[in-house]
Chain A
Amino acid sequence: MTSDWDNGESRRYPSAASKDGHEASTHEPEEARMVEDTPNRDATLLASSVRLPEHVVHRGFAAETVVLNLKTGKYHGLNPVGGRMLEVLEQTETVQQAARQLAAEYEQPIETIEEDLCSLCADLAARDLIETNAPGAD
Chain B
Amino acid sequence: MPPGLTEPRPATGASDSRTPAWTGRAFGIDLHANFRAAGIVEQAGPTAPHEDDGVPARRSHLQLVSDVALEAAWPAAGTRTLGYLHDDEGRSVLTIAEHPDAGFRLEASYYGRFVVSADGGRVLCAPTPVADWEWQAFVVGQILPLLVVLHGLEGLHGSAVSFADDAIGLVASSCGGKSSLAVNLVRRGAAFAADDVLALERDGAGTALHPGPALASVRHAEADVIGPAGLAELGTVVGRNDHELRLAMQRDARPLNLAALYFIERAEHEPSLTIEAIEPDPLQLLSGSHNAFVRTAERLVGQLDLYAHVSRSVPAFRAVVWPGIDAYGLACLIQDHALQMIAGSS
Contacts and interface: CB of A to CB of B under 8 A. Distances in A.
B232 interface: no
A82 interface: no
Interface in A10-53: 22, 24, 26-27, 29
The residue among A22, A26, A29, A77 with the most chain B CB atoms within 10 A of its own CB is A26
B223 interface: no
B297 interface: yes
A70 B301 contact: yes
Contact of A29 (B280, B287, B297): B287
Interface residues of A, number: 20
A62 interface: yes
Contact-size category for B: 10 to 19
Contacts of A121: none
Chain A binding surface SS class: loop
B283 A22 contact: yes
Given A3-B279, A62-B279, A70-B301, A26 B308 contact: no
B51 interface: no
B91 interface: no
Contacts of A3: 279
29 contacts: A3-B279, A24-B282, A26-B289, A26-B295, A27-B292, A29-B283, A55-B297, A59-B305, A61-B308, A61-B312, A62-B279, A62-B280, A63-B279, A63-B311, A64-B282, A66-B282, A66-B286, A66-B304, A66-B308, A68-B301, A68-B304, A70-B297, A70-B300, A70-B301, A73-B300, A75-B282, A75-B283, A77-B282, A77-B283
Interface of A: 3, 22, 24, 26-27, 29, 55, 57, 59-64, 66, 68, 70, 73, 75, 77
Closest 10 interchain pairs by CB? A59-B308, A62-B279, A63-B279, A61-B311, A62-B311, A24-B283, A61-B282, A26-B292, A66-B282, A70-B297
